Amino acid sequence: MVGPPPLQGLKVLEFAGLAPGPFAGLLLADAGANVLRVDRHTPSSPAVSTGDLLTRHKSSIAINLKSPDGVDVIKKLAKSADVIIDPFRPGVLEKLGIGPEVLRAINPRLIYGRMTGFRRDGRYASMAGHDINYLAVSGVLSRLGRSGDKPHPPTNILGDFAGGGATLFQGILLAVIAREKTGEGQVVEANMVDGANYLATFTRQSLKTPMGDHPRGQNLLDGGCPYYDTYETKDGKYVAVGALEPQFYAALLKGLALSNRNWEGRRLDREFWPEMRRTFETIFKSRTRSEWEEIFDGTDACCTPILEYSELEADVSREGDQRPAVTLRETPCLAVGGKGVDPSVHGQGPGVPGDGYVGQLLSPGQGGEHALSNWFGWTKGKDFDIKNGGVVLKPKSNL
For the chain, percent of residues with pLDDT exceeding 90: 76
For the chain, percent of residues with pLDDT exceeding 70: 94
Q: What is the pLDDT of residues 191-242, one digit of tens each?
A: 999 999 999 999 999 999 999 999 999 999 999 999 999 999 999 999 999 9
Q: What is the pLDDT of residues 301-313, one digit of tens each?
A: 999 999 999 999 9
| The CATH fold of domain 228-318 | formyl-coa transferase, domain 3 (3.30.1540)
Residue 120: CB partners within 8 Å, gap ≥ 6?
90, 189, 191
Domain ranges of the chain: 11-199+321-393, 228-318
Q: What is the pLDDT of residues 263-303, one digit of tens each?
A: 999 999 999 999 999 999 999 999 999 999 999 999 999 99
pLDDT confidence bin for 336, thresholds 50/70/90? confident
Strand partners, 36: 13, 59
Instruction: Identify the pLDDT of residue 339.
Output: 63
Instruction: Identify the pLDDT of residue 344.
Output: 65
pTM value is 0.94
pLDDT higher than 70, residue 355: yes
Phi, psi of 37, rounded to the nearest 5 degrees = -80, 135
pLDDT higher than 60, residue 340: no
What value does the mean pLDDT take over residues 78-104? 95
| Alpha carbon distances (Å) from 237 to 103, 252, 308 | 54, 19, 10
pLDDT higher than 60, residue 37: yes
Residue 41: closest CA among 16, 65, 58: 65
Q: How many CA atoms lie within 13 A of 96 on its CB side?
A: 25
pLDDT confidence bin for 351, thresholds 50/70/90? low
pLDDT higher than 80, residue 46: no
Secondary structure (3-state) at 12: strand
Residue 170: CB partners within 8 Å, gap ≥ 6?
none
What value does the mean pLDDT take over residues 63-69? 91
Angstrom distance (rounded) from CA 310 to CA 209? 39
User: Is there a shared CATH topology between the 11-199+321-393 domain and the 228-318 domain?
Assistant: no
Strand partners, 60: 37, 367
Between 389 and 161, the higher pLDDT residue: 161
pLDDT higher than 80, residue 122: yes
Instruction: Identify the pLDDT of residue 255.
Output: 98
Q: Report the run of H or E that residue 397 belongs to, with start and end.
A: none
Instruction: Identify the pLDDT of residue 109.
Output: 98
What value does the mean pLDDT take over residues 162-168? 97
Instruction: Identify the pLDDT of residue 394.
Output: 84
Between 335 and 291, the higher pLDDT residue: 291
Q: Which CATH superfamily is domain 11-199+321-393 in?
A: Crotonobetainyl-coa:carnitine coa-transferase; domain 1 (3.40.50.10540)
Residue 140: closest CA among 152, 129, 128: 152
Angstrom distance (rounded) from CA 151 to CA 143? 7
pLDDT higher than 90, residue 388: no
| Bridge pairing between strands 187-191 and 58-63 | unpaired
| Alpha carbon distances (Å) from 50 to 70, 176, 201, 324 | 19, 28, 34, 25
pLDDT higher than 90, residue 322: no
pLDDT confidence bin for 352, thresholds 50/70/90? confident
What value does the mean pLDDT take over residues 323-350? 76
pLDDT confidence bin for 148, thresholds 50/70/90? very high
State the average pLDDT for the chain: 92
**What DSSP assignment string belongs to 88-121?**
SSTTHHHHTT-SHHHHHHH-TT-EEEEEESS-TT
Q: Is 355 a catalytic residue?
A: no
Residue 230: closest CA among 156, 304, 139: 304
Instruction: Identify the pLDDT of residue 121.
Output: 92
pLDDT confidence bin for 337, thresholds 50/70/90? confident
**394: DSSP letter:** -
Which residue is catalytic, options 160, 194, 222, 383?
A: 160
Secondary structure (3-state) at 249: helix
